[in-house]
């Protein structure tokens, strides 16, 4: 029962982030923003959904009992979600689940972005996914699904880096 509530809450959190993203995306597009790498964005969305579904299915088959791994996973998951909130607040209207480059795009120079080049991926998504799998004791999902997700994430980061370097002189050196 608790695991089902956790999975449901994780889905609600992720869908909530998509709602915020779509609102930001619509405003950005209305103001002339362009999307970069739509195919990779679809791949990442599918990989995220597949990871969450696989974890839920694996947990339903394994029926794990809550233990220290579950608690550690929940804490890691919560850190990831807290970082999502931080990143969304720091990026403001520029945050979307897609790579959108606005006509008036401003480079965010907050210390977090100087310390961690891509905090949305490394401080939000990875802890979220690893934490999710640990809570559910979804070892196969973690071992197989995470490397597959990382392929999409590396492609995304490369596209984002190229788009930002094109938009902001000296970005690659930052």
Per-residue pLDDT tens digits for 66-102: 899 999 999 999 999 999 999 999 999 999 999 999 9
Instruction: Find out whether 135 and 3 touch, Cβ atoms under 8 Å.
Output: yes
pLDDT of residue 38: 95
Confidence of residue 139 (pLDDT cuts 50, 70, 90): very high
First to last CA, the chain: 47
The angle at the Cα of 70, spanning 60 to 116, to the nearest 5 degrees, equals 115
pLDDT of residue 107: 87
Instruction: Find out whether 68 and 137 touch, Cβ atoms under 8 Å.
Output: no
pLDDT of residue 174: 54
Assess whether pLDDT exceeds 80 at residue 112: yes
Q: Which domains does the chain have, with CATH numbers?
A: 2-173 (1.20.120.1630)
Exposed, middle or buried, 169 (CB in 10 Å: 0-12/13-18/19+)? exposed
What's the count of helices (H) and strands (E) in the chain, helices before strands? Answer: 8, 2
Confidence of residue 167 (pLDDT cuts 50, 70, 90): confident
Of 90-99, 123-132, 160-169, the least confident = 160-169
pLDDT tens-digit readout, 5-29? 999 999 999 999 999 999 999 999 9
Confidence of residue 173 (pLDDT cuts 50, 70, 90): low
- Mean pLDDT (the chain) is 94
Beta strands, E only, the chain: 34-36, 99-101
């Amino acid at each position: 029962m608790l695991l089902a509530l956790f999975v449901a809450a994780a889905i609600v959190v992720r869908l909530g982030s998509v709602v915020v993203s779509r609102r930001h995306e619509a405003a950005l597009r209305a103001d002339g923003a362009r999307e970069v790498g739509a195919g990779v964005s679809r791949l990442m969305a599918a990989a995220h959904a597949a990871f969450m579904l696989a974890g839920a299915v694996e947990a339903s088959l394994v029926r794990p009992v809550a233990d220290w791994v579950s608690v550690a996973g929940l804490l890691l998951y919560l850190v990831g979600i807290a970082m999502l909130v931080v990143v969304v607040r720091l990026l403001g209207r520029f945050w979307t689940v897609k790579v959108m480059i606005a006509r008036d795009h401003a480079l965010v120079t907050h210390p977090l972005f100087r310390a961690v080049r891509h905090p949305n991926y490394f401080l939000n998504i990875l802890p979220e996914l690893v934490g999710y799998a640990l809570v559910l004791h979804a070892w196969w999902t973690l071992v197989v699904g995470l490397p597959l997700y990382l392929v999409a994430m590396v492609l995304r980061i490369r596209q984002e880096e190229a788009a930002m370097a094109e938009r902001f002189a000296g970005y690659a050196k930052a």
